[in-house]
Amino acid sequence: MSQQSEECLPESASAEQSDVPGARILHMKGRQYDLQKAIQQRAQESVEREAAMDQEQRRPKPLKWAIALLIAAIPIALTLTAAETFLRAFHRYLDVTVETANKQAEEQAAAAAAAAAAAEAMAPVTSDDPDVVMLSPLLVPPDNKAQSAAPQSQASPAPDPKK
């Protein structure tokens, strides 16, 4: 405390005292100020350096992000490929099924048309209009064929009991 009070003395008073051998006053305030200033400057540089390092760590790295995105895209690509493959196989199955169903329908339609044509040929042709005369072919009934075959078998020569 005495140091501060002596600094407040005018220069002439301090000059008089300095001539006298004895205690000498050292001005440490300036050195302390410079030392504090240097410490504060070093601390500020350290804080700035740490902030720059944090900023560098937070900054996205393009290569790191590209690799991460590629790794993340692999399951997505596999899923889409599997779905597309399944859908293609399913469409092929449906095509085969529809084609088979169409063939069966065509065969049934052809059989039905043949049956209808046969039924139409067998059915007598009639008309409700009295002015129309319908001519139909003369068909031999199946009963006549059976009866004509029976007399031939009876007409075959039988062995005479007289011989």
Contact indicator for 136, 124 with CB cutoff of 8 Å:
yes
- Could you tell me the CA-to-CA distances from 158 to 108, 150, 151, 155, 162 in Å, in that order? 52, 15, 13, 8, 11
Other CB atoms within a 10 A radius of the CB of residue 9 amount to: 13
Ranking 13-17, 27-31, 134-138 by mean pLDDT, the lowest is 13-17
pLDDT in tens, 107-130: 999 999 998 888 877 766 666 777
Q: How far apart are CA 105 and CA 96, in angstroms?
A: 14
% of the chain exceeding 90 in pLDDT:
36
CA atoms of 92 and 97, how far apart (whole Å):
9
Global confidence as pTM: 0.36
pLDDT digits (tens, 9 = 90+) for 53-80: 888 877 778 888 899 999 999 999 999 9
